[in-house]
Amino acid sequence: MIPGGGQPNMQQLLQQAQKMQQDLAQAQEELAQTEVEGQAGGGLVTATVTGAGELRALKIDPKAVDPEDTETLADLVVAAVQAANENAQTLQQQKLGPLAQGLGGGGIPGLPF
């Protein structure tokens, strides 16, 4: 309902929706191009992911490689990827959160907010 009892201006609402859609597409493109890192083992393993969550790189310091203890290396890799994904989610919230608020606060399907 519009304050004062008037009808909503459909043209204006359509323009606002199109602008929000364009802003959302631009933010998603920026996320796909932006990279964030996560580390484990004091930097022995570093994972790089995009803001959209795509794993781009994994760096393993040779000191982390012990043929007798591959389980620890695997744990470090998992921890680094998880940390990178958490950083990507934070970036998503920063970039897309305000746009989701403009959509009525209902959030964006598929995103954790």
Q: What pLDDT digit, counting tens, does each position of 40-54 carry?
A: 999 999 999 988 889
Dihedral pair phi/psi, residue 60, rounded to 5°: -125, 120
Torsion-angle region of 35 (φ positive above 0: left; ψ -120 to 50: alpha; else: beta): beta
Identity of the residue numbered 17: A
Does the predicted TM-score (pTM) go above 0.85? no
Q: What is the pLDDT of residues 57-94, one digit of tens each?
A: 999 999 999 999 999 999 999 999 999 999 999 988 88
Strands of 45-50's sheet in order across: 35-40, 45-50, 55-60
H helical segments located in the chain: 10-33, 70-102
In the DSSP assignment, the letter for residue 5 is G
